[in-house]
């Protein structure tokens, strides 16, 4: 079976398992998703959603964030962790959006990655979920699950992205990432993955059918 054929089979199964798979950050527009994604680094989406509930009421435009007092903003996002660097990224990013993009979050990968603190993963999250484009965002769950499935080998997320582009049909890029994230959170976890309960274990080269027969759930982390 070709890699793409196997990937389609896996994704078909995950689509049924996680029909509500989506980005779990709360947002109403591209700017809110951008800010939330920056804050989500090394932080849970649940915590970010708590913080942004009030944050987005106070700061409604990129210019509002750009004009924010740095110390005040740091305190407002403190609970997301790494608040000093995150505040710097938010301020610099929104200043550039205000000055160079007429206050609008750009719509291309090249322009998005020109923003301070915005890498390919964040840019692809914006493109795929705020602008409806097909994009592959590689987070820790996507990295772990695709390593185990044998779809990608590199450790570098950007290189993983390019490998996944060859395996996953383009029309499924964005949704596939959501499905892989949900699977990584619920079943294919970093520690003690639930292999016997995994709906795709017979398609996983790291596990195989033998894991299901043996009832193993102690498969080690591979990333």
Q: Are residues 47 and 78 in the same domain?
A: yes
What's the pLDDT score for residue 217?
42
Work out the average pLDDT over 46-63.
98
Q: Are residues 35 and 120 in the same domain?
A: yes
Looking at 82, 106, 129, the residue that finishes a domain is: 129
CATH number of the domain that residue 7 is part of: 1.10.1670.10
Q: Are residues 202 and 119 in the same domain?
A: no
Work out the average pLDDT over 28-43.
97
Q: Are residues 78 and 46 in the same domain?
A: yes
pLDDT digits (tens, 9 = 90+) for 164-178: 999 999 999 999 999
Q: Are residues 49 and 102 in the same domain?
A: yes
On whether the CB atoms of residues 52 and 39 are closer than 8 A, the answer is yes
Q: What is the C-alpha end-to-end distance of the chain, expressed in Å? A: 25
Domain tally, the chain:
2
Q: Give the residue numbers marked as catalytic.
A: 121, 139
Q: Classify residue 144: in a domain, yes or no.
A: yes
Q: CB 29: neighbour CB atoms within 10 A? A: 13
Q: Is the pTM of this model over 0.75?
A: yes
CATH number of the domain that residue 49 is part of: 1.10.340.30
Q: Are residues 13 and 77 in the same domain?
A: no
Residue 191's contacts (CB-CB under 8 Å, 6 or more residues apart) are 221
Q: Classify residue 46: in a domain, yes or no.
A: yes
Q: Classify residue 219: in a domain, yes or no.
A: no
pLDDT at 110 exceeding the cut of 90: yes
Please identify which residue in the block is written with the tokens 């080690």: 220
Furthest CA-CA distance within the chain: 60
Q: Which structural domain, as residue segments, surrounds residue 92?
A: 30-129
Q: Are residues 206 and 156 in the same domain?
A: yes
Looking at 129, 156, 187, the residue that finishes a domain is: 129
Q: Classify residue 123: in a domain, yes or no.
A: yes
Q: Are residues 16 and 35 in the same domain?
A: no
Q: Are residues 43 and 121 in the same domain?
A: yes
pLDDT above 70 covers a percentage of the chain that reads 92
Q: Are residues 16 and 34 in the same domain?
A: no
On whether the CB atoms of residues 140 and 156 are closer than 8 A, the answer is no
Tokens of 146: 């695709």
Q: Classify residue 117: in a domain, yes or no.
A: yes
Q: Are residues 44 and 84 in the same domain?
A: yes
**What is the helix (H) or strand (E) element at residue 219, kind and residue range?**
none
Tokens of 123: 């840019």
Q: Are residues 43 and 100 in the same domain?
A: yes
Q: Classify residue 173: in a domain, yes or no.
A: yes
Looking at 76, 96, 129, the residue that finishes a domain is: 129
Q: Classify residue 121: in a domain, yes or no.
A: yes
Q: Read out DSSP for 70-109? A: HHHHHHHHGGGS-HHHHHHHHHHHHHHHHHHSTTS--SSH
Q: Residue 213's pLDDT band (boundaries 50, 70, 90)?
A: very low
Please identify which residue in the block is written with the tokens 């409806």: 132
Q: Residue 208's pLDDT band (boundaries 50, 70, 90)?
A: low
Dihedral (Cα; 123, 126, 129, 132), 10-degree rounding: -90
Tokens of 143: 């990295």
pLDDT at 46 exceeding the cut of 50: yes
On whether the CB atoms of residues 164 and 151 are closer than 8 A, the answer is yes
Q: Classify residue 158: in a domain, yes or no.
A: yes
């Amino acid at each position: 079976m070709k890699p793409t054929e196997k990937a389609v089979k896996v994704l078909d199964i995950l689509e049924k398992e996680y029909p509500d798979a989506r980005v779990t950050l709360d947002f109403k527009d591209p700017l809110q998703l951008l800010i939330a994604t920056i804050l989500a680094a090394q932080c849970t989406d649940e915590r970010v959603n708590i913080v942004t509930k009030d944050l987005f009421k106070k700061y409604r435009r990129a210019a509002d964030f750009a004009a924010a007092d740095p110390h005040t903003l740091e305190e407002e996002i403190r609970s997301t962790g790494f608040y000093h660097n995150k505040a710097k990224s938010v301020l610099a990013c929104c200043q550039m959006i205000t000055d160079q993009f007429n206050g609008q979050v750009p719509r291309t990968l090249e322009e998005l990655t020109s923003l301070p603190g915005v890498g390919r993963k964040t840019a692809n999250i914006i493109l795929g979920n705020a602008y409806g484009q097909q994009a592959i965002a590689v987070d820790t769950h996507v990295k772990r699950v695709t390593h185990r499935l044998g779809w990608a080998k590199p450790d570098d997320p950007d290189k993983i992205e390019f490998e996944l582009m060859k395996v996953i049909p383009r029309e499924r890029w964005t949704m596939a990432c959501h499905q892989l994230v949900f699977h990584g959170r619920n079943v294919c976890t970093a520690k003690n993955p639930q292999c016997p309960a995994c709906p795709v274990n017979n398609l996983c080269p790291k596990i195989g059918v033998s894991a299901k027969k043996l009832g193993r759930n102690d498969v080690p982390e591979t990333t």
